[in-house]
Structure 1
Amino acid sequence: MALPLAQFRAHLRLGTGFSDDDVQDAVLESFLRAALATIEARTGKILIERDFSWELRQWRDGGEQPLPVAPVSLILSLTVRDRMDDPIPVEATSYKLIPDMQRPMVAATGTCLPSIPTGGAAEIRFTAGFGPGWAELPADLGQAVLLLAAHYYEHRAEAAPSGGPMPFGVSSLIDRYRTVRILGGGPGA
């Protein structure tokens, strides 16, 4: 994953043109990765596109299954495994992706998704993220990552993490991307 080190250096107003410009790259990269992971965890949105594998033991609903993160651009495969862990590939024509920024789903093209045998599981492999690189990120999410990474950088000397709330500027930038869950996450949620 290509991280925006140059943008982060500029955001921090670090000097350039010195022979040791890249000395802090590993530190800067670690703060960017931590900020990306935090923003993704808080919003349920994957920022930089990558592939995921998700296993479940039963469908929430027989006709459609919400996916755990967004945005999802592609279902790579759906495989059901029996209790002996033998894979049973599912034809791609029997399911489809219902893209949604808050709650994407894999849905049956017929009446229901394939049954999961007792003691078995279903594995869904999918691609999620706003795009393959930093440039495809919405500007407000990119700014939130830079602000949070800068916060981590500025407070790196603290002996223990404060565990306090997220900086206000970051929270205000990501609030609209957070998923609101109602009804306890049941089928109607």
Structure 2
Amino acid sequence: MSLVMTAPPAVEPVTVADAKAHMRIDGNDEDVLIASLLLTSRLHIEVALSLALITQSWTLTLNRWPGSRDVELPLTPLRSIDEVRVKNAAGVANVVPAESYLVDLSSRPALLVWNNTARPEPQVPAGGIEIDMTAGFGSTGESVPAPLKHAMLMLTAHWYEHRDPEEIGSDAARIPEAVSALINPFRTIRL
């Protein structure tokens, strides 16, 4: 299984101006660094939570269908399944008709559920199934929950203050507990 971003977010959920106000920084000398830290903070939070904060497109590639009729989709919040393709013996990806499956967006993780039709089986040994999807809270920063935006600000400030390379596992390299506390309600808990 692989998950590849095909269209990144058009904007960041938090602007450089917001971060500078949060950190009480005047002037534009550090704008490039702050923008980089905001990007890194967003990516860190997205990976930690399997979230997409701002609308973005991804392709999930599978070798074969899972054992159950449901396919768990690894990004939250999922907005849509844009296309499902299955490769034939020649490696040509054929589009699966959308009426062959349902998308349960209310589940976490979201599910692709097959109707009473048979699933088309891939005819290649690897990478035979491609699922294009769109995920994210929305296309603007206003659509992202406030605790996640605040966690981004806090993480950006932390990394701004701790620029020296640190050994992984050292106390200085740890993510502040306040950031973890802000993002914990958005974690997917498996029973």
* Residue number in structure 2 paired with 1:187: none
Distance 2:68 2:122 in 1: 10
Q: Which amino acid aligns with 1:140?
A: P
The alignment partner of 2:94 has SS state of strand
| Structure 2 unaligned residues grouped into runs of 5+ | 1-9
2:20 pairs with 1:9 = yes
Q: Quick one: distance in 2 between partners of 1:113 and 1:133?
A: 36
Matched residue count: 176
Q: Residue 49 of structure 1 contacts residue 127 of structure 1 at CA under 8 Å; is this kept in 2? A: yes
Asked if 1 retains the 8 angstrom alpha-carbon contact of 2:80 and 2:135, the reply is yes
The change in CA–CA distance for 1:112 and 1:104 in structure 2 (over 3 A counts) is: farther
The separation in 2 between residues aligned to 1:122 and 1:44, in whole angstroms, is: 21
AA of the residue aligned to 2:182: L
Equivalences for 1:142-153 in 2 at 5 Å?
A: 142-153=149-160
Shift of 1:160: 2.9
- Counterpart Cα distance in 1 of 2:94 and 2:184: 40
Aligned residue for 1:22, secondary structure, equals coil
In 2, the alpha carbon distance for the partners of 1:179 and 1:85 equals 35
Asked if residue 42 in structure 1 is aligned to residue 53 in structure 2, the reply is: no
What are the within-5 Å matches in structure 2 for residues 101-116 of structure 1? 102-116=108-122
Q: Which residue of 2 aligns with 1:186?
A: none
Kept in 2, the 8 Å contact 1:70–1:100? The answer is no
**Equivalent residue, structure 1, for 2:148:** 141
The partner residue of 2:182 within 154, 173, 176 is 173
Which amino acid is 1:131 matched to?
G
Give the structure 1 partner of residue 166 of structure 2.
160
2:145 partner amino acid: P
Q: Which runs of 5+ in 1 are unaligned?
A: 16-20, 183-189
Task: For 1:83 and 1:174, locate their aligned partners in 2 and report how far apart those are by CA, in whole Å.
Answer: 44
Pick closer, same or farther for the CA change 1:101–1:38 going to 2, 3 Å: farther
What RMSD, in angstroms, separates the aligned Cα atoms of the two structures?
Answer: 1.8
Distance 2:118 2:184 in 1: 35
Matching residue's letter, 1:46: A
**1:176 Cα deviation after fit:** 1.3
2:7 is matched with which residue? none
Q: TM-score, normalised by structure 2?
A: 0.84
SS at structure 1 position matched to 2:29: helix
**Maintained 8 Å contact 2:87/2:124:** no
Which of 56, 70, 81 is matched with 1:75 structurally? Answer: 81
**Is the partner of 1:6 in helix, strand or coil?**
helix
Question: What CA deviation, in whole Å up to 9, does each residue of 1:99-120 have, x standing for no partner?
Answer: 1363101111225533223525
Q: State the partner residue of 2:34.
A: 28
| C-alpha distance in structure 2 between counterparts of 1:130 and 1:169, whole Å | 22
DSSP 3-state at the match of 1:125: strand
Percentage of identical aligned residues? 30
The SS at the match of 2:106 is: coil
Once residues 181 and 160 of structure 2 are traced to their aligned partners in structure 1, the CA distance between those partners, rounded to angstroms, is: 20
Displacement of 1:166 after TM fit? 1.9
Partner of 1:185: none
